[in-house]
Amino acid sequence: MSKFVLVLSDLHTGGAFGLMPPETTLSTGSVHQLNVGQQYLWHCWTDMLDKLPERIDLLIINGDAVDGPNKAEAGRGVNEPDPLWQAKHAAKMLKYQLVDKSAQIVMTTGSKYHVGYGNETEIHLASLLNVDPPETWIHKEHEGKFYLDIAHRQSFGKRSRTASLETEIGYLLERKARARELLPEQTILIRSHTHSGYRSVDEQGILAITTPSWKIQDAFAKGSANPNRLYPDNLGAIGLRLYDEPVDGSLVQVVKYLYPHPKMS
């Protein structure tokens, strides 16, 4: 027997470079037509939906589901100017062949720049999806054999993409040691936010993953403090199949729904 977990992050709905459902009526009253980048993202999104299993036991929406007001660029690069309407569009998209097949849905908070200092936009999204408000960090035992450690942001960034995951593993072990707690047979640590594509580190029963995003990198990223963000290998999502007993020596199978990021000019 197995259970299936789907991890989505960084949808950035409402932004000109993020996921948007087609033929969407905006808060301004106009009907938004997808630009060429959003057409590509929607093609990838629907391709993923077609490949998903009939039942998702746990859907994790891991932050930055909306793009926010984009204050650093005075609102340029935003298709939907109202963040609460961005949440409405995200809910519409998530309800399309996804929410109804998910037995449980959990959300984490995104970055303040995108979702607001009170996280009001993703709280609104949670209410539209009829799920619990997002948490900053989710850490819990699951099915007795698994420990889930889920947060949107990494503790701090380094230029090496995998080094950040190794650092997160170190923090995890330190937290458990200070609490005099033992980890179960398999730990799954999930981080997002960096837009650097799928990365993973698997060490001694701890699987650490950075998820890909659903946003095409824009010109603003050129001014980022983390220039490696300019070159994501892929976009998409990650599935996890959790087994009762090891299969091919592992309790976890990673199912990749990855799509090439358009070439940077």
pLDDT in tens, 69-105: 887 776 678 999 999 999 999 999 999 889 999 999 9
DSSP assignment of 124-139, as one string?
Answer: HHHHHHT-PPPBSEEE
State pTM to two decimals.
0.93
Neighbours of 146 (CB within 10 A): 20
**Residue 163 is inside which H or E element, if any?**
helix 161-178
Mean pLDDT of the chain: 90
Which architecture characterizes domain 2-55+62-94+110-260 according to CATH? 4-Layer Sandwich (3.60)
**More confident position, 40 or 226:** 40
Neighbours of 182 (CB within 10 A): 8
Give the model's pLDDT for residue 10: 96
Give the CA count within 13 Å in the CB-facing half-sphere of 81: 8
Q: How many helices (H) and strands (E) does the chain have?
A: 5, 12
